């Protein structure tokens, strides 16, 4: 990555007109294509502008550097994941049923977004420690921690923290590994069901003392 990276990763301005929205959408679509085809090491604003069919000046109206484009792609993924997490965990079903649903939705989304996610992982050092990135992660952590408290209300704080970390780490690590290979829907469902069985058995053991 030879392009100079600045500390700014937020967009310069938000599009307000339909034409501007179309321009930003075209840039982001092109960015995904460049990222998945060329990889993070060859990802540049010039390549994105060329693929989108826009001038580099038009791109810079909204994105000050390549880190801001990559962060926008990553933040869009994080926001989709956060909304999924919020929708699943805010359900009125019993917590254990919500955990099972969460596993299925998480594994499915990991498989759907695997190509872009794996490419973004190589670019993560550009934005991983930025304040905007930390804020998004904190919101996800808050939603998940609230659910773990509801799922295991009788555990001590320390034991509940360990349980929450283990469940979250299992989901992210195993889900990432599983999604690196193209999977059929029935394979995804079977794998998610097995992981849900495992995590629910773990929760039952903790709840039983």
Q: Is the pLDDT of residue 6 over 50?
A: no
CB 52 within 8 A of CB 105: no
Quick: pLDDT tens for 48-84: 999 999 999 999 999 999 888 988 888 888 888 888 8
User: What separation in angstroms does the CA of 112 have from each of 25, 62, 73, 107, 131?
Assistant: 20, 27, 15, 9, 27
Q: Is the pLDDT of residue 2 over 50?
A: no
Q: Note every long-range contact of 155-161, with CB atoms under 8 Å and residues 24 or more positions apart, other chains counting.
A: 155/206, 159/206
Alpha-helical (H) ranges within the chain are 18-38, 45-52, 56-62, 66-89, 95-112, 114-123, 131-151, 157-179, 185-207
* Predicted TM-score (pTM) above 0.85: no
Encode pLDDT of 33-51 as tens digits.
998 888 878 899 999 999 9
Please check the confidence at residue 1 and state whether its pLDDT lies above 60: no
- What is the predicted pLDDT for the residue at 126? 67
* pLDDT for the residue numbered 82: 86
Query: Looking at residues 7-32, what average pLDDT do you find?
Result: 75
Q: For residue 4, what pLDDT is reported? A: 40
Quick one: pLDDT band at residue 7, thresholds 50, 70, 90?
A: very low
Characterise 54 by phi-psi region: left (phi > 0), alpha (psi -120 to 50), beta (else): beta
Q: Which of the four pLDDT bands, split at 50, 70 and 90, describes residue 18?
A: low
How confident is the model over 87-144, as pLDDT tens digits?
998 888 999 999 999 999 999 999 988 877 777 777 777 666 777 777 777 888 999 9
The per-residue pLDDT for 145 is: 94
């Amino acid at each position: 990555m030879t392009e100079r990276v600045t500390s700014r990763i937020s967009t310069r301005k938000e599009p307000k007109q339909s034409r501007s929205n179309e321009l930003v959408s075209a840039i982001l679509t092109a960015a995904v294509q460049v990222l998945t085809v060329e990889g993070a090491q060859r990802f540049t604003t010039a390549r994105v502008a060329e693929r989108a069919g826009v001038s580099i000046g038009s791109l810079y109206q909204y994105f000050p550097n390549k880190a801001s484009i990559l962060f926008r792609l990553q933040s869009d993924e994080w926001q989709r994941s956060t909304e999924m997490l919020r929708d699943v965990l805010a359900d009125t079903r019993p917590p254990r049923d919500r955990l099972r649903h969460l596993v299925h939705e998480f594994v499915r989304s990991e498989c759907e977004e695997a190509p872009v996610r794996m490419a973004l992982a190589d670019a993560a050092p550009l934005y991983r420690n930025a304040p905007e990135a930390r804020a998004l992660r904190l919101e996800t952590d808050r939603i998940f921690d609230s659910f773990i408290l509801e799922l295991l209300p009788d555990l001590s704080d320390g034991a509940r923290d360990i349980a929450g970390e283990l469940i979250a780490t299992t989901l992210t690590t195993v889900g990432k590994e599983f999604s690196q290979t193209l999977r059929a829907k029935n394979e995804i469902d079977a794998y998610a069901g097995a992981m849900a069985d495992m995590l629910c058995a773990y929760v039952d053991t903790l709840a039983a003392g």
